[in-house]
Structure formats: C-alpha cells, structure tokens
Amino acid sequence: MDRAHWRFLTDPTFDAPGTYPSGLAKTAPASATPADLGRIDVVLLSHDEHDDNLDASGRTLLADVPLALTTPSGAGRLGHRTPLKN
C-alpha cells in the first residue's frame, strides 16, 4: 500500500435514519454509502461507545478496512486491527 495515497474515514455511520439501540436518534441519511467511498485504508474512530460515531453499518465496514485507530479501550473491544490495545 502506497502511504502517499492512503484513504482515511472518520467515525463511520451509514445506518438509515431512526432510533439507535442506545436511544440516540439519527434524523438524516448518510450522504454516501460505503460502496460510494471506494477503498478505505484507515478508519479514525473517536470512540465506539455511541452509535453516532460507529453504527451497525460502520462496524460492518470495519471488516474490510485494514486498520482502525481509536482509543485503547475501544481497540480492546474492536479487535486485532486496532494497534492501540492496552
């Protein structure tokens, strides 16, 4: 992977509008779908505790992204592609 051309995405949320399991409400659709974005090399995730930062569709997207950077506690919850685990 050519580091000069990495593609980053922050806090992926693509679920349809509605009420998330956490009780938060999404009032508008995402402006793009994961397919619209093409290849994503890195997800920058501020945290994974709220659906408005990482929803179900965003979690699905993570399976196809080589690297996710997030908090140490989030890295522990999300797995092996997050290098900042404690």
What pLDDT is attached to residue 27? 94
pTM: 0.82
pLDDT digits (tens, 9 = 90+) for 15-73: 999 998 888 899 999 999 999 999 999 999 998 888 889 999 999 999 899 999 998 88
Domain ranges of the chain: 3-78
* 3-state secondary structure at position 20: coil
What pLDDT is attached to residue 28? 94
Contact 26, 18 (CB under 8 A): yes
pLDDT category at 81 given cuts 50, 70, 90 is low
pLDDT category at 80 given cuts 50, 70, 90 is low
Distance between CA 62 and CA 4 in Å, rounded?
21
